Amino acid sequence: MPVLAASSSPSDRTYSVAVGVILAFAALEILAITIHFGAEYRSERATLEATKAPATPASVKPGATPAPPQASAPSSAALSASDRLLKEANVLRERGDTANALARLQDASQRDPRNPQVLAEMAAIYESIQLYDRSNETWRKIQDLGPSAGPLYELADMKLRVGAAATPSPGVPMDTAGKPLDAEGLPEGSIFGVINIETEQIPDPDAETNFRLKVGIKKRDGVAIDHSKLRIMVLFYDSLDNDKVVSTDADVNYEWMNPKHDWVESNPETLIVTYLRSKTHAITSEAALSAAAAAVTPGKNSSRSKKRSESAANTESIDPGRRQYLGYVIRILYDDKLQTVRADPPRLINDAPNSSLSP
């Protein structure tokens, strides 16, 4: 039985090869396009995500939770203890209570000795009560701080070169230290004050100078006092050869007009101070006069006398010049706080040798 064999023509084989080649090239081109656009898509997406992602602070590690923003610091730091005391002192000084203001400033100065603001306020108060020695000493401390004290350094330099002087406001009644007087006639913030001083000459043919001062001392109404805390100082001064100011060597006597002088039966109380220089009075050394400063303690009824010639009896040195009465300085202190100052002539507060005397 005959067998039939199938066979393809040459044209069919050529067509098949051509189609296969075309399909292969098409597949390769599709693959290349896919790879190309896939790479561009990944690049653009990475760039877009980078622009949208928030910047991570350098101090925060990636993946860590950022700390919440801190509250802004206050505009000014808390006041130090010295600054607080300085502020309190300024308030007290504006009220006229210079004694307590000075106590606050002294406390502040101990805490911060190089605070120029504290030192300047202290110097100003010393100057206002005409304690110029202490004022200059305090200005000098500011000067020692140098330019670091700022404008206060220049002010201190000027004060030390030109000198300080009390400048009371026109029309405002003040005591000699420049403290304003209130409606009671007392320095603002003080418990005691001097409301009047009378000078009475005593005829005495044997005396070169003989007079008495009647000092009216008033207590503030409604204020309880302790007699033991009150101190009244009356210092007399002479001129030596009409030039030098020296403590007097005359005989000085103190006596209260009211034996009780407790400011209960009468207010004010009057202290009588007598100054006596006889024509034959020996001129004594100034070195022996320091013990003659008046310190009157209320509560004692007996009069008190200072015999300057007796206190100098054991000294050998004597002043060779001629003495004449010059004036006085009166200071009243209560509880170791200066209440008021009176002086005649006023320059004695600055010129007298014991003008800065205080507890």
pLDDT digits (tens, 9 = 90+) for 107-148: 888 888 889 889 988 888 888 787 888 888 898 999 899 888
pLDDT at 10: 55
Per-residue CA distances from 47 to 40, 41, 54 (Å): 11, 10, 13
Contact (Cβ atoms closer than 8 angstroms) between residue 119 and residue 150: no
Per-residue pLDDT of 177-210, as tens digits, reads 777 888 899 988 899 999 999 999 999 999 999 9
pLDDT at 355: 46
pLDDT at 359: 33
More confident residue, 7 or 161: 161
Alpha-carbon span 325 to 237, nearest angstrom: 7
pLDDT at 216: 95
Q: Which two tokens stand for residue 44?
A: 């653009």
Q: Mean pLDDT over residues 292-300, rounded?
A: 51
pLDDT at 132: 80
pLDDT at 47 over 70: no
Phi and psi at residue 288, to the nearest 5°: -90, 5
By DSSP bridging, strand 244-247 and strand 269-278 are unpaired
More confident residue, 267 or 46: 267
pLDDT at 348 over 70: yes
pLDDT at 343 over 80: yes
pLDDT at 264 over 80: yes
Contact (Cβ atoms closer than 8 angstroms) between residue 268 and residue 218: yes
Q: Mean pLDDT over residues 73-85, rounded?
A: 60
pLDDT at 50: 47
pLDDT at 257: 92
Phi and psi at residue 259, to the nearest 5°: -55, -30
Contact (Cβ atoms closer than 8 angstroms) between residue 98 and residue 179: yes
Q: Mean pLDDT over residues 232-256, rounded?
A: 90
Closest CA to 195 of 97, 300, 291, 271: 271
Average pLDDT over all residues of the chain: 73
The lowest-confidence range among 70-84, 228-242, 324-338 is: 70-84
* Confidence band for 37, pLDDT divided at 50, 70 and 90: low
